[in-house]
């Protein structure tokens, strides 16, 4: 009974946190990020909905449509980057664009992109991320230094840190060369801050405020089932959302909040690591000082159909041939969550 009451209390807080007319949720400042399979999903969502997304941060991801609906090609993309044919992949994008399966590719050349690849990554080869950077340049982005104050569209790469396969921070996690769950390593690199700073510059927002303090009480669950989240598409029925104090109903009238979506990697689901990943990316700390609502969609392990034994987001086609475009089950799911949040300022509550 106590457990049930606690769950109901969490659900109530999650709903109440969004109630009221203030703050305003901006529809023009959507940013996304992800690691590994989540990095691949971030790229896919960015390409599919490039008219909505303004910036993307990717750690250990792959170029768009690298797997070409084939799990064996996906494995090669991760370990043998010399097979990646970016002109051909961009050609596939043009075909999707022609039939309306992705937004106009020309939108991407207005984005801010920050990429990270650890020199010790044994899961996704460094060359694969180099190929992703090259794909962005083919799409019209120029390269800029990570610390640059340049406000023009650009792709910025952090490729010189001796990190293993992990989301990197400068305040939490295992040793930088550690490989294993929860795939959070302290490498002395504030990736969340580097990415958001570049995004804020590009979007013309006031300078990104320094990191605030994470408040566990501001991390809530929401119902993914309300948006079609189910085992049939390897999505959990529950997701996480971080609502900073500045974006609660009690915020001063006229407050504008932004939306950020972060996609976890394989073996980082709530079923595998609980809330460890979503609590320690560094994004929540910046959310507090910069009025950002952070959505953490949750995939789930699926042992049979679809076959997704590590709870990865789909970047090779286990949900169907449309996995990388607007009609893909997980992309459509994420888009529905973002749309609801921006249109109503609320998400349906969800408990354990």
User: 131 vs 52, 160, 269, 304, CA distance in Å?
Assistant: 24, 16, 27, 32
Report the C-alpha gap between 56 and 257 in whole angstroms. Answer: 18
Phi/psi for 267 (5° steps) reads 60, 25
Which candidate in 49, 50, 103, 165 is catalytic? 165
Report the C-alpha gap between 16 and 32 in whole angstroms. Answer: 25
Supply 339's token pair.
Answer: 């749309």
- Confidence check: pLDDT of 86 > 80: yes
Q: Is 126 assigned a catalytic role? A: no
The lowest-confidence range among 27-31, 66-70, 127-131, 147-151 is 147-151
Nearest to 47 by CA among 116, 88, 114, 94: 94
Which candidate in 33, 49, 50, 121 is catalytic? 121
Phi/psi for 104 (5° steps) reads -55, 125
pLDDT value of position 222: 98
Say which residue, 253 or 187, is predicted with more confidence: 187
pLDDT tens-digit map of 204-243: 999 999 999 999 999 999 999 999 999 999 999 999 999 9
Dihedral sign (CA 166, 171, 14, 198): negative
Q: Is 165 assigned a catalytic role? A: yes
pLDDT value of position 22: 64
Per the DSSP assignment, residues forming a β-bridge with 116 are: 59, 158
Please name the residue ranges forming H helices in the chain: 2-16, 37-48, 71-79, 86-98, 126-138, 191-203, 270-273, 276-279, 283-290, 329-344
- Confidence check: pLDDT of 155 > 60: yes
- Confidence check: pLDDT of 14 > 80: no
Q: Is 302 assigned a catalytic role? A: no
Supply 278's token pair.
Answer: 């979503």
Say which residue, 352 or 351, is predicted with more confidence: 351
Task: State which H helix or E strand residue 288 sits in.
Answer: helix 283-290
pLDDT tens-digit map of 264-318: 999 999 999 999 999 999 999 999 999 999 999 999 999 989 999 999 999 999 9
pLDDT tens-digit map of 39-61: 999 999 999 999 999 999 999 99
pLDDT value of position 13: 38
Which candidate in 33, 36, 50, 166 is catalytic? 36
Q: 130, 117 in Cβ contact below 8 A?
A: yes
Report the C-alpha gap between 31 and 146 in whole angstroms. Answer: 17
pLDDT value of position 310: 98
């Amino acid at each position: 009974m106590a457990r049930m009451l606690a769950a109901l209390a969490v659900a109530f807080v999650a709903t109440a946190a969004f109630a009221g007319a203030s703050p305003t949720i901006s529809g023009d400042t959507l940013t996304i990020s992800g690691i590994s399979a989540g990095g691949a999903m971030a790229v896919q969502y960015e390409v599919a909905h490039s008219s909505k997304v303004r910036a993307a941060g990717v750690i250990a991801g792959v170029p768009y449509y690298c797997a070409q609906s084939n799990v064996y090609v996906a494995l090669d993309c991760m370990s043998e980057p010399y097979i990646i044919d970016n002109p051909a992949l961009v050609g596939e994008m043009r075909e999707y664009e022609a039939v309306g399966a992705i937004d106009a590719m020309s939108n991407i050349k207005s984005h801010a992109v920050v990429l990270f690849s650890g020199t010790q990554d044994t899961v996704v080869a460094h060359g694969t991320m180099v190929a992703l950077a090259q794909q962005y340049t083919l799409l019209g982005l120029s390269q800029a230094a990570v610390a640059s104050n340049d406000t023009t569209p650009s792709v910025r790469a952090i490729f010189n840190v001796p990190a293993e396969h992990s989301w990197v921070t400068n305040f939490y996690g295992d040793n930088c060369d550690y490989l294993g769950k929860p795939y959070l390593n302290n490498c002395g690199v504030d990736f969340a801050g580097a990415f958001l700073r570049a995004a804020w510059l590009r979007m013309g927002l006031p300078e990104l405020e320094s990191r605030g303090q994470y408040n566990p009480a501001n991390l809530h669950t929401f119902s993914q089932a309300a948006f079609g989240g189910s085992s049939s598409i390897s999505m959990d029925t529950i997701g996480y959302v971080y609502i900073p104090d500045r974006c609660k109903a009690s915020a001063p009238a006229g407050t504008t909040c932004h939306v950020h979506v972060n996609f976890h990697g394989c073996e980082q689901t709530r079923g595998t690591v609980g809330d460890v990943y979503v609590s320690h990316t560094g994004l929540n700390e910046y959310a507090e000082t910069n009025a950002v609502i952070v959505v953490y969609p949750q995939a789930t392990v699926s042992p049979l159909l679809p076959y997704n034994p590590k709870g990865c987001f789909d970047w090779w086609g286990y949900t169907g041939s449309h996995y990388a475009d607007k009609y893909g089950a997980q992309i459509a799911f994420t888009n529905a969550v973002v749309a609801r949040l921006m249109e109503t300022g609320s998400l349906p509550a969800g408990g354990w």
